[in-house]
Structure 1
């Protein structure tokens, strides 16, 4: 028989929501610790919030019954800044966009972009080579600049080096903006009203204008012929793509998709690499094993497509980093039809939350879940866990379309950095993540550059 999941009483909900606004991760931890793996929060008459944190729940909601769920109301603020790209669209529009864009991100097609990734990473390493031994860098900002160069080269065929600093700060500003607006109660009613009543919205509009200016310039340069192309990048593919009826992509949709890839394409990879460098600096044995593998497989040269499958420990290190600090830390859906999840009834109109951050740290699924242990992801141990115990890019048809691109990018970047440098964390860094749309390092990640022999 279906049964309502346990959860807080109505008089406890205001306190729970206040904690969720100030410290979302702590709020989730406390809630599941008290009520269990499935929690029901009666938010308003006829409208519940459900929190589900087991792999079986993720598979049910994101895959098996995904047709019963649509984008949650929490995605509305994102539309105010990035428009109706794949991340924020829904229904027929999303289906049409997905069919058009999915082939552009096939593993085979993305693999052809690897040499451009190598060139962008090499440019950063050459900059490091000019610095004295022991120089201190902000790993978060360095990784953001590098991944932005990769996005510019591979997706747009453009050199964005001159725009690096202002784009970095614009993306950071918009991340904070979306987070603040989501926490505004008016988001339930109107994302536009929530935006206009959240402090700082004029600064956010300026950040959006910065992103739009760069994207508009890149598109205009390509269309005018001022920017040359070898036909491999995403912008060419989008301009040449055709729907089933033969029509091309419209200007508004083109802008929305480019902004979506622009922001999501470099932010998540940059965070992944920054957190990985932090974790390696606190785990000498894991770092030494990484160095041994990279030296053995690459023998001092740049990685090729054939090398990626041989970098087994490198991939395990990155997977463990994404387990602890997933690029997508929470996935939210609104139920558009009644459902039942693990015996818990979910009424239409309810919001369900499946946080990869909690799924990845579930003590009943992972041994020593807070520990950094890359060996969990070695091939011989892959059969030990549920298929949806590890969902750093979401799951189902709405899973991240750029996951193949991101995985190639971070493996190549970590291998090339490891070939030449060790980055040692300086004292004073607090590893508690800053919760925005992604999990960002909370402050400057100061690390000393040490050249390897």
Structure 2
């Protein structure tokens, strides 16, 4: 057994045991409950209707813990008795394939996305139907491998700025790794997609992302606010702060747009802003100012958040598993010789990429994905009525015992070349799947690999005593209160 496997077997994920309930160990309990579940309406496992008030309260307190509890008690197909609105929790890789690929035309963005529209408008993440189709055709070519590869110097340059700031700090200094990764990826997105230096407004934008998620989650968990989140924005106690979040983002976007429009016209489209300003739809019309704003905000905010959380959790896991970190350091030292990685170099860093994939498996940036059924359907024997909501949490799919050995353990080996050939192809869905899968996945994979390799070349980040993070399942899966770590030069 390799040292890393020993780490995984020895520690698994005990450091998170108090924070994120173990998804394993429920098989015997589920088997014992099979007979009782057969008596439920339609034969679908799930709690009785009388449990609805307690369930709603539990979801409001901690939706991830509630989902894990339901999975452990009832299995990977659960009907949740929400009055007036059927809700299903589906956690098998085959369920993900059904909802996101095989029957994707029958599943639209759920009502839980409404609060996000207050901030993101009708950007690519939240739009539907013909509008989404036009947006996707416009934006997809900008994220092809060749164009993203050409952005590697931007990724290196901005990572170097972060490392230079750390070089000025004394050894043993505490840093918030979550905040640092957020600012780093924000700067990369700003320059790569919009040709903008976001160093000065970076902290303001980062705090606005936090505010956006706070509001969205507050509205998502409140059945009175979810149907009309704008009312919540205007009437709830935190409305002034949330309104300020919207204004802060809009001011940055207006400045970026005005600066680009005032600049001399360029014949070639170098970035996303060029493509949006030059866009022409089939009818010859240009993108509206409002739609331009929505697309810029979507990529500015969502485009950096997923990479930031992936890097944050990767740094945490490496600190918790020293032998895995030593193997990563040895790899980057041997393959890069102190130079920043080129895109071609990344193929020679299989362990680095495996660590990032394992971080996304254990802590997927978007921990749950939800859809509304347009027409009646059936998933794995479960009748799904039209209008009901299905939740397919990557957090649970990524830990399903039929797809993963030692599902709670940290074991990057499973993502090394040649591994996982027998695994269900939808057992790993950190970027979603189907047509609605993340358009920026290639960008994120290259960006995080470049950044992690460069950090490992020069620094180690260790956990502080008692610094094990609790999970904060907002729109993305963050460490609650950030992640304070001890910064040391190698």
Quickly name the TM-score band, shorter chain normalised.
over 0.9
- 1:232 and 2:270 correspond: yes
In structure 2, the partner of 1:54 is: 92
TM-fit CA distance, 1:177: 0.9
In structure 2, the partner of 1:31 is: 70
Which of 37, 42, 47 is the equivalent residue of 2:81? 42
> How many residues matched?
450
Give 4+ residue runs of structure 1 displaced > 4 Å after superposition: 226-231
Contact 2:115 2:226 in 1 (8 A): no
TM-fit CA distance, 1:80: 1.0
Summarize deviations over 1:123-173 as a string: whole Å, max 9, x none: 111111112222221111111111111011101111111112211211111
Contact 2:219 2:226 in 1 (8 A): no
- 1:377 and 2:395 correspond: no
Secondary structure (helix, strand or coil) at the match of 1:175 reads helix
Alignment of 1:316-335 (within 5 A): 316-335=354-373
Contact 1:429 1:443 in 2 (8 A): no
User: Which is worse superposed, 219-228 or 91-100?
Assistant: 219-228
Change (3 A) 1:419 1:240: same
TM-fit CA distance, 1:372: 0.9
TM-fit CA distance, 1:198: 3.3
Contact 1:138 1:444 in 2 (8 A): yes
TM-fit CA distance, 1:197: 4.2
In structure 2, the partner of 1:352 is: 390
In structure 1, the partner of 2:102 is: 64
Which of 390, 393, 398 is the equivalent residue of 2:436? 398
Secondary structure (helix, strand or coil) at the match of 2:421 reads helix
Aligned partners of 1:227 and 1:191: how far apart in 2? 40
Contact 1:77 1:195 in 2 (8 A): no
In structure 1, the partner of 2:60 is: 21
- 1:185 and 2:218 correspond: no
TM normalised by structure 1 equals 0.96
TM-fit CA distance, 1:294: 0.7
User: Which is worse superposed, 195-204 or 20-29?
Assistant: 195-204
When the two chains are superposed, the root-mean-square deviation of aligned CA atoms in Å is: 1.7
Which of 439, 443, 457 is the equivalent residue of 1:419? 457
Contact 1:87 1:260 in 2 (8 A): yes
Summarize deviations over 1:49-104 as a string: whole Å, max 9, x none: 01100000000000000000111000001111110001111111111111111111
TM-fit CA distance, 1:247: 2.9
Aligned partners of 1:226 and 1:125: how far apart in 2? 34
In structure 2, the partner of 1:367 is: 405
Change (3 A) 1:8 1:345: same
Aligned partners of 2:416 and 2:287: how far apart in 1? 42
Contact 1:185 1:194 in 2 (8 A): no
- 1:75 and 2:113 correspond: yes
User: Which is worse superposed, 118-127 or 227-236?
Assistant: 227-236
TM normalised by structure 2 equals 0.89
In structure 2, the partner of 1:11 is: 50
TM-fit CA distance, 1:299: 1.1
Aligned partners of 1:106 and 1:4: how far apart in 2? 46
Secondary structure (helix, strand or coil) at the match of 1:317 reads helix
Secondary structure (helix, strand or coil) at the match of 1:185 reads coil
Secondary structure (helix, strand or coil) at the match of 1:44 reads coil
Secondary structure (helix, strand or coil) at the match of 1:381 reads coil
User: Which is worse superposed, 370-379 or 423-432?
Assistant: 423-432
Runs of at least 5 residues in structure 1 that lack an aligned partner in the other structure: none
User: Which is worse superposed, 47-56 or 96-105?
Assistant: 96-105
In structure 1, the partner of 2:209 is: 171
TM-fit CA distance, 1:187: 3.9
Contact 2:232 2:239 in 1 (8 A): no
